[in-house]
Amino acid sequence: MSPAEQPQPPRPVDVRRPTLNAVAARAGVGRGTVSRVINGSPKVSDRSRAAVERAIAELGYVPNRAARSLATRRTDSVALVVPDAESRLFAEPYFSEIILGVSAGLSSAGMQLLLVLTGDETEYGRLAGYLAAQRVDGVLLMAVHAEDTLPDRLAELAVPTVLAGRRGEAERLGHVRADNRGGARLAVRHLLAGGRRAVATITGPLDMDAARARLDGYRDALRDAGVPVAEELIAAGDFTEQGGRAAMRELLRRRPDLDAVFAASDVMASGAVQELRAAGRRIPGDVALVGFDDSIVARHIDPPLTSVRQPLAEMGRTMASLLLEEIAQRGTGQRGVVLPTELVVRESA
Amino acid sequence: MSPAEQPQPPRPVDVRRPTLNAVAARAGVGRGTVSRVINGSPKVSDRSRAAVERAIAELGYVPNRAARSLATRRTDSVALVVPDAESRLFAEPYFSEIILGVSAGLSSAGMQLLLVLTGDETEYGRLAGYLAAQRVDGVLLMAVHAEDTLPDRLAELAVPTVLAGRRGEAERLGHVRADNRGGARLAVRHLLAGGRRAVATITGPLDMDAARARLDGYRDALRDAGVPVAEELIAAGDFTEQGGRAAMRELLRRRPDLDAVFAASDVMASGAVQELRAAGRRIPGDVALVGFDDSIVARHIDPPLTSVRQPLAEMGRTMASLLLEEIAQRGTGQRGVVLPTELVVRESA
DNA sequence: TCACCCCGTGGGACCGCTCCCACGCGGCAT
DNA sequence: ATGCCGCGTGGGAGCGGTCCCACGGGGTGA
């Protein structure tokens, strides 16, 4: 039987790319020299450098990442972890825009971005070991809750980590967050400045620092204005539209006389709008409304929603640079960075 | 000078993790056997397998990915490429939801997801070589335009590739898309069924297949109903809100008597709403409106927008599985997969 | 002139895994 | 008893880089 007759096994198409060895041979130098050129070492003569660079260009050589990271024990890549429970939020600009910033910040440093969307709880539990074993150089962690222990486990494993938001006041790990408290304060001050006095708030889940901070800001603004804080004007939501509706309904029941609402997220505000409408209140005529996030829904809701903007892309970039610092020099990165928020005034308040 | 006195260089914290060798030693077997167990080879005795598994558990061993991929010439990771020009769309669920599906489809196969957001044109140009050199096992490409050559270059380099959407009817590469034409047809049929006769359309950029297909569907529906297609009822948009406004304005100028609009995206529909409102038309009283994408804005616009839904998460999952097939067995993956769209009726039509 | 230094350089020894070849051993047919 | 087969196994040889040590040669000072 001639070899041509037997059925060809699906031979693995491996288009071999040129190796560092090939470059060295072509340039007429040793491997070490090529490596030095690639890594920008100064101790290479101009002659050799030129020869190597020419060979690289001619062969279209690009170093093999796996080989390099095996030798260096670095991967030049970081993981961005988004817990699945939160992935509903993925539909909002929040994550997307942070990711955009992160990507920009990383790629300028030649780092790769590994996107890790975790499934169920158990998967999330295995994550620490997994991430350490993959030898990503660092981890960016989104949407951490107060009781989350993943960050600590990563710290134990000496994996540089930066959080989006902190778990609480005592956060020891590097993190980046918006000035939630200040933003909320701006929002409520704006409502008060509009002459409103019965200002309610719909909070986020209070096991998240951002939600607590926004509630604190609400209290701050009332205190600043000498308006007493009435507990029955505070209703708990969960950052979802449904939660916003339920909270708004509850607030209307408790205090039919309320004349303003600060919702700790636009999505909850959108739920509140529906409920207010159902109750026959006009916005902003009867009830003024301010949201938080300045997300895409804020612009498209009717009436367009006054909202607190956080600089998401910049937060992403900052996270990236904090992480890069920490990777380059452990224990160096700043602990917490707070970025300013601003009030975007539209028609709802 | 004693060594203790010189300033400590920032010693690289390298927490050595157990290697395959360590596992072999502990289990009292050879490296080959451990490797076989890890890779699920059947030719291992139960005794050895048990011993190895125990050792792995005790040491908390996880294989080093770099070493493995150096040896196998695989990376077990794929790149998801999102051209930056389109990243404004990133704010919409479109990308996010596809990514969610992709991630689900990949992680069940133990594959990693590398997110690559390209910056400017030149960066995009370098991408093919870059991706081939990184030895990602495959590439998922979003938002390809008709004249895009990146897919072809990847094909030349023998990198398995799957596109989200096709470049044109003659697409040779594997891709997944929604039934844009059918969806548009549904939308326009719905408008006609509502008694509308002067049905306009705002198209997307016609260098994208999805935009052309939606325009074709619009024509189909009119033809089905025996309504002649009037070219002045067709205005070009570009999938942006601004573009939608401009197109709507133009349409109102050309045909003040129009009584329905099919916008090829929700975002453009939202622009159209603003323009219609400014012109004093009521929706759907004077003008009925249908969008495309069923994005988050569709639900929050006033009035809530009737829109065509595409199964984004499923598209993502399908892209993942097509790519995995193609990676496992070159030339095997189905060329093009079309997923059904459906009309979500709300109040705008 | 000679010892010394330093600069640029080549190449050996890894990094941790997979692949594959060769070997030992027990069971079966002869 | 003897040969043979085949299963399970150990371990050598890469994969393609980096790191570092040792070495040659030109310049400098004595």
Phi, psi of A306 (to 5 degrees): -70, 135
Residues 6+ apart with CB under 8 A from A312: A93, A94, A97, A98, A100, A101
Query: What is the per-residue pLDDT for A129?
Result: 78
Task: Give domain status of residue B85, yes or no.
Answer: yes
Task: Give domain status of residue B200, yes or no.
Answer: yes
Mean pLDDT (whole number) for A340-345: 98
Query: What is the per-residue pLDDT for B10?
Result: 37
Query: What is the per-residue pLDDT for A279?
Result: 96
Residues B257 and B166 in one domain: no
pLDDT at A305 over 90: yes
Residues 6+ apart with CB under 8 A from A308: A183, A184, A186, A187, A290, A291, A292, A293, A294, A341, A342, A343, A344
pLDDT at A10 over 50: no
Contact B69 A73 (CB under 8 A): no
Nucleotide whose C1' lies closest to the alpha carbon of residue A42: C8
Nearest CA to A142 out of A83, A102, A93 is that of A83
Residues of B in Cβ contact (< 8 Å) with A104: 117, 119
Residues B195 and B292 in one domain: yes
Residues A152 and A82 in one domain: yes
Higher-confidence residue of B197 and B97: namely: B197
Query: What is the per-residue pLDDT for A63?
Result: 93
pLDDT at B333 over 70: no
Q: Which two tokens stand for residue A198?
A: 């019965």
Q: Which two tokens stand for residue B209?
A: 């297949």
Query: What is the per-residue pLDDT for A83?
Result: 82
Average pLDDT of chain B, as a whole number = 89
- Highest mean pLDDT among A134-143, A145-154, B11-20, B243-252 belongs to B243-252
Which of A56, A94, A96, A139 to probe the B interface (max B CBs under 10 A)? A96
Q: What is the DSSP letter of A111?
A: -
Residues A171 and A184 in one domain: no
Q: What is the DSSP letter of A271?
A: H
Query: What is the per-residue pLDDT for A12?
Result: 44
Residues A259 and A333 in one domain: no
In contact, A26 and A55? CB cutoff 8 Å? yes
Query: What is the per-residue pLDDT for A108?
Result: 85
Compute CA distances A314 → A79, A102, B96, whole Å: 18, 8, 20
| Residue closest to C9 C1′ by Cα | A33
Query: What is the per-residue pLDDT for A14?
Result: 53
Query: What is the per-residue pLDDT for B342?
Result: 97
pLDDT in tens, A80-138: 998 875 666 666 778 888 998 999 999 888 899 999 988 777 777 778 877 877 779 99
Burial profile A170-209: b = 16 or more Cβ within 10 angstroms, e = fewer: ebebbbbbbbbbbbbbbbbbbbbeeebebbbbbbbbeebb
Q: What is residue A278's three-state secondary structure?
A: helix
Mean pLDDT (whole number) for B75-90: 80
In contact, A202 and A237? CB cutoff 8 Å? yes
Mean pLDDT (whole number) for A6-22: 61
In contact, A101 and A312? CB cutoff 8 Å? yes
A36-45, B177-186, B244-253, B282-291: the lowest-pLDDT one: A36-45
Paired residues of B164 in beta bridges: B176
Radius of gyration of chain A (CA): 27
Residues A45 and A120 in one domain: no
Compute CA distances B177 → A149, B92, B144, B341, whole Å: 40, 17, 12, 10
Instruction: Please tell me the distance from the alpha carbon of residue A79 to that of residue A320, in angstroms, as a whole number.
Output: 11
Q: Are strands A342-344 and A306-309 parallel, antiparallel or unpaired?
A: antiparallel
Chain C positions with an atom below 7 A of a protein C-beta are 7-12, 14-21
Q: What is residue A81's three-state secondary structure?
A: strand
Confidence of residue B339 (pLDDT cuts 50, 70, 90): very high
Query: What is the per-residue pLDDT for A275?
Result: 96
Task: Give domain status of residue B5, yes or no.
Answer: no
Q: What is the DSSP letter of B112?
A: E
Higher-confidence residue of B249 and B124: namely: B249
Higher-confidence residue of B170 and A84: namely: B170
pLDDT at B2 over 50: no
pLDDT at A6 over 70: no
Confidence of residue B70 (pLDDT cuts 50, 70, 90): very high
Burial profile A4-26: b = 16 or more Cβ within 10 angstroms, e = fewer: eeeeeeeeeeeeebbbbeebbbb
Q: What is the secondary structure of B183-250 as a DSSP string?
A: HHHHHHHHHHHTT--SEEEEE--TTSHHHHHHHHHHHHHHHHTTPPPPGGGEEE--SSHHHHHHHHHH
Query: What is the per-residue pLDDT for B65?
Result: 92
Higher-confidence residue of B118 and B88: namely: B118
Angle of CA points A127, A133, A138, to nearest 5°: 75
What is the domain count for chain B?
A: 3
Residues of A in Cβ contact (< 8 Å) with B115: 80, 99, 103, 113-115
Query: What is the per-residue pLDDT for B4?
Result: 32
Cβ within 8 Å of A, B 160-219 = none
Query: What is the per-residue pLDDT for A200?
Result: 98
Residues B185 and B280 in one domain: yes
Instruction: Please tell me the distance from the alpha carbon of residue B12 to that of residue A285, in angstroms, as a whole number.
Output: 62
Compute CA distances B51 → B20, B23, B43, B47, whole Å: 14, 10, 15, 6
Q: What is the secondary structure of B263-303 as a DSSP string?
A: ESSHHHHHHHHHHHHHTT--TTTT-EEEEEE--HHHHHSSS
Residues of A in Cβ contact (< 8 Å) with B297: 296-297, 300
Mean pLDDT (whole number) for B231-253: 95
pLDDT in tens, A200-229: 999 999 999 999 999 999 999 999 999 999
Which DSSP helix (H) or strand (E) runs through A4?
A: none
Confidence of residue B143 (pLDDT cuts 50, 70, 90): confident
Between A209-224 and A180-193, two packed helices, what is the crossing angle to 10 degrees? 40
Residues A172 and A203 in one domain: no
Mean pLDDT (whole number) for B109-120: 87
Instruction: Please tell me the distance from the alpha carbon of residue B159 to that of residue A17, in angstroms, as a whole number.
Output: 13
Mean pLDDT (whole number) for B201-224: 96
Which of B20, B74, B296 to probe the A interface (max A CBs under 10 A)? B296
Query: What is the per-residue pLDDT for A4?
Result: 32
Contact B132 A80 (CB under 8 A): no
Query: What is the per-residue pLDDT for B15?
Result: 63
pLDDT at A147 over 90: no
Cα-to-chain-centroid distance, residue A133: 23
Confidence of residue B91 (pLDDT cuts 50, 70, 90): low
Q: What is the secondary structure of B48-85 as a DSSP string?
A: HHHHHHHHHHHHT----HHHHHHHHS--SEEEEEEEGG
Residue numbers of the domain that contains A185: 180-309
Tell me, what CATH number does A122's domain have? 3.40.50.2300
Which DSSP helix (H) or strand (E) runs through A344?
A: strand A342-344
Q: Answer for B296: CB within 7 Å of strand D.
A: no
Contact B95 A97 (CB under 8 A): no
Task: Give domain status of residue B112, yes or no.
Answer: yes
Residues A221 and A288 in one domain: yes
Instruction: Please tell me the distance from the alpha carbon of residue B215 to that of residue B229, in angstroms, as a whole number.
Output: 11
Burial profile A303-328: b = 16 or more Cβ within 10 angstroms, e = fewer: bebbbbbbbbbbbbbbbbbbbbbbbe
Query: What is the per-residue pLDDT for A5?
Result: 30
Q: Answer for A38: CB within 7 Å of strand D.
A: yes
Q: What is the secondary structure of B122-149 as a DSSP string?
A: HHHHHHHHHHHHTT-SEEEE-S--TT--
Tell me, what CATH number does B48's domain have? 1.10.260.40
Compute CA distances A10 → A7, B204, B327, whole Å: 9, 42, 11
- The dihedral sign for the CA sequence A237, A243, A248, A251: negative
Query: What is the per-residue pLDDT for A330?
Result: 79
Neighbours of A144 (CB within 10 A): 24
Query: What is the per-residue pLDDT for B246?
Result: 97
Mean pLDDT (whole number) for B127-140: 85
CA distance, residue A240 to nearest chain B CA (Å): 13
B321 CA vs D9 C1’ separation (Å): 36
Query: What is the per-residue pLDDT for B162?
Result: 95
Mean pLDDT (whole number) for B210-221: 97
Query: What is the per-residue pLDDT for B299?
Result: 86
* Share of residues in chain B with pLDDT > 90 (%): 69
Residues B329 and B272 in one domain: no
Query: What is the per-residue pLDDT for B294?
Result: 92
Task: Give domain status of residue B154, yes or no.
Answer: yes
Mean pLDDT (whole number) for A290-295: 94
A106 CA vs D4 C1’ separation (Å): 62
pLDDT at B12 over 90: no
pLDDT at A42 over 80: yes
Q: Answer for A68: CB within 7 Å of strand D.
A: yes
Residues 6+ apart with CB under 8 A from B79: B114, B115, B116, B131, B134, B136, B138, B139, B140
pLDDT at B83 over 90: no
Residues B45 and B29 in one domain: yes
CA distance, residue A228 to nearest chain B CA (Å): 34
Confidence of residue B7 (pLDDT cuts 50, 70, 90): very low
Instruction: Please tell me the distance from the alpha carbon of residue A106 to that of residue A327, in angstroms, as a whole number.
Output: 12
Chain D positions with an atom below 7 A of a protein C-beta are 7-12, 14-21
Residues 6+ apart with CB under 8 A from B323: B78, B138, B139, B140, B160, B161, B162, B174, B333
* Share of residues in chain A with pLDDT > 90 (%): 69
Angle of CA points B158, B160, B165, to nearest 5°: 125
pLDDT at A3 over 50: no
Task: Give domain status of residue A1, yes or no.
Answer: no
pLDDT in tens, A254-291: 999 999 999 999 999 999 999 999 999 999 999 999 99
pLDDT at A57 over 70: yes
Instruction: Please tell me the distance from the alpha carbon of residue B209 to that of residue B75, in angstroms, as a whole number.
Output: 32
pLDDT at B175 over 60: yes
Q: Which two tokens stand for residue A340?
A: 């300013």
Cross-sheet strand order for the sheet of A199-203? A234-236, A199-203, A260-263, A288-293, A306-309, A342-344
pLDDT in tens, A229-240: 999 999 999 988
CA distance, residue B107 to nearest chain A CA (Å): 9
Residues A103 and A43 in one domain: no
Contact of A92 with chain B, judged by CB distance below 8 Å, is answered with yes
B27 CA vs D1 C1’ separation (Å): 38
Contact of B348 with chain A, judged by CB distance below 8 Å, is answered with no
Nearest CA to B219 out of B209, B232, B228 is that of B228
Which of B's residues 7-46 have CB atoms within 7 A of nucleic strand D? 28-33, 35-36, 42-45
Contact A133 B64 (CB under 8 A): yes
Which of B10, B15, B63 is nearest residue A329 as measured by Cβ atoms? B10
Higher-confidence residue of A89 and B237: namely: B237
Nearest CA to B218 out of B178, B247, B179, B184 is that of B184
In contact, B28 and A173? CB cutoff 8 Å? no
Query: What is the per-residue pLDDT for A301?
Result: 86
Query: What is the per-residue pLDDT for B105?
Result: 93
Contact A115 B93 (CB under 8 A): no
Average pLDDT of chain A, as a whole number = 89
Contact of A88 with chain B, judged by CB distance below 8 Å, is answered with no
B30 CA vs C23 C1’ separation (Å): 14
Task: Give domain status of residue B11, yes or no.
Answer: no
Mean pLDDT (whole number) for B39-55: 93
Higher-confidence residue of A341 and B11: namely: A341
Task: Give domain status of residue A259, yes or no.
Answer: yes
Mean pLDDT (whole number) for B137-149: 87
